[in-house]
Chain A
Amino acid sequence: NAGVTQTPKFQVLKTGQSMTLQCAQDMNHNSMYWYRQDPGMGLRLIYYSASEGTTDKGEVPNGYNVSRLNKREFSLRLESAAPSQTSVYFCASSRQGIAEQFFGPGTRLTVL
C-alpha cells in the first residue's frame, strides 16, 4: 500500500516549457487535490477533484490545468512555465466529504 505517489521528485524547467506532474493514490479515495507550498505561505490549493469526472479551481489556479484521468490518478499540467511557478507541489487525496487528507512526498520544481 503505497498511499499517494508523485512523479517526478525534482524537475528543472526553462521559462516557457511545459510539463505534467503525475499523482496516483491506491486508497480508493474519491477526492484528490493539488497544492503548492512556498516559504511563509503555507499550502495553497491549486485545483481539486471532489470525485471522478469533476474538477474545480482552488485558490491559485492561474497557469495550471488538471486532469482526473480515473479514480486513482490526478495530473497537474503547466502549459508555459514561469519563474513564479517555482515551488514545491503536493498532491493529496481523501474520502469524499470532510475528511483528513493524505499527502504525497512532493515535487520540487524550479523554473529558470
Chain B
Amino acid sequence: AQSVTQPDIHITVSEGASLELRCNYSYGATPYLFWYVQSPGQGLQLLLKYFSGDTLVQGIKGFEAEFKRSQSSFNLRKPSVHWSDAAEYFCAVGAGTSGSRLTFGEGTQLTVNP
C-alpha cells in the first residue's frame, strides 16, 4: 500500500523568503502526486499535480514541485512567500487500479511572519 510522509508538522518563514515543503512517498510503481492547500475553515484546493513527463511541475499561486524518483520525493517550493500563503499544505499520492484513491500526508502548517 502507498504512504506519504510530510516530515515537517509546522514551518515558519518570513514574508518574501523562499519556501520548501517536503514530501516523501512510498509506492512500488510510478505514483500520481498532488499538492493541496487548505486555508482555515475551508476545503482543499489543488495546487499542482504530477502524472508523468517533466519532473518539474508548475502550479497555481506561483508554486512548483519537483518529482525525484531516486529520492521518492515530491517537494513543494515557492521563491517568495506572501502572507496569504499561510495555510496547511497536504501532499497526496494516487495509485492502483481503483482510480483516484488518494493517500494523504499528515500536513504541514505554514506560518508567515511579516
Name A's B-contacting residues (CB within 8 A). 4, 31, 33, 40-45, 48, 50, 56, 58, 90, 92, 94-106
Contacts and interface: CB of A to CB of B under 8 A. Distances in A.
Most chain A beta carbons < 10 A, residue from B41, B46, B49, B101: B101
B100 A90 contact: no
Interface stretch (B12-20, B66-74, B78-86, B104-112): B104-112
A31 to B, nearest CB: 6
Interface string B82-107: 00000000100011001111111111
B91 to A, nearest CB: 9
B98 A50 contact: yes
Contacts of B36: 103
Contacts, number: 63
A69 to B, nearest CB: 20
B58 to A, nearest CB: 15
Interface in B1-45: 4, 9, 32, 34, 36, 41-45
10 contacts: A40-B106, A40-B107, A41-B106, A42-B105, A43-B44, A43-B102, A97-B100, A99-B99, A103-B44, A106-B43
